[in-house]
Amino acid sequence: MHIIDGKSLAQQIRSHIADEVEILGRERNIVPGLAVVLVGDDPASHAYVKMKAKACKEVGYYSIVHEMPDTISQDEIIGTIKMMNDNPRIDGILVQLPLPPHIDTDAILEVIDPAKDVDGFHPYNVGRIVTKLDAFASCTPQGVMRMFEHYDIDLKGKDVCVVGASNIVGKPMAALLLNADATVTVTHIYTQDLARHTREADIIIVGVGVPGLIKADMVKEGAVVIDIGINKLDDGRLVGDVDYDAVAPKCSYITPVPGGVGPMTIAMLMENTLKAAKARNV
């Protein structure tokens, strides 16, 4: 059994990005810029944004956070995004989700200039990914794909079960896997007999926010298990959607929580922002 070290891989990627940023500044006088919209006072959202700001500082990006109260109107958020669309210093725009219930998330995401949509959530980028064209891919699925590449895990023809069908993780994950010639099954809350699907899979990728959902008897010997879930238990521990201690001995590869997919998500955000900056016309 091999543990996939996302933390170490993410650090390698961030170090490489920092080197590229230095060259970009020297040769083209460009400093990549990332702007974040943070609405409300959700502790998890604030923690994520703090980690992203730290990563920006580490690689040498200009970054700004627009903090807004959860009572803010949708039009005010849209106005801020349009301002950032027009700001030549901003290469990437990220709206931290979830947004308050009175805000139409889809409408907000569609306002972002697709060329600055470094989270990969705009329908334009989603469509290009589905049709195997160059675009910004959603950061978490992109991070998973980079882990497969780094650990030489072949996807061609493999049976992959994606547990969860969200627009942020499950659907784009399935698209990237299909682009890599995997055979993909997507399961969700209405799937009957989840275990039947996971037991047949060479690779299981789960991200639904249910602690310990994937049990040992749901995984075949030698499977690769990618745990995207992150859940905080009452005792303060962070755990994934996989019953790690029971499942790990059966796996050829498995990601831990924390230290697996999470750091890769932020690394891919940094990578997408660099890509956007390189495309900037100056």
Active site residue ranges = 52, 96, 119
Question: Per residue, what are the HEC states of the chain?
Answer: CEECCHHHHHHHHHHHHHHHHHHHHHHHCCCCEEEEEEECCCHHHHHHHHHHHHHHHHHCCEEEEEEECCCCCHHHHHHHHHHHHCCCCCCEEEECCCCCCCCCHHHHHHHCCHHHCCCCCCHHHHHHHHCCCCCCCCHHHHHHHHHHHHCCCCCCCCEEEEECCCCCCHHHHHHHHHHCCCEEEEECCCCCCHHHHHHCCCEEEECCCCCCCECHHHCCCCEEEEECCCEECCCCCEECCECHHHHHHHEEEECCCCCCHHHHHHHHHHHHHHHHHHCCCC
Angle formed by the axes of helices 43-59 and 6-28, nearest 10°: 50
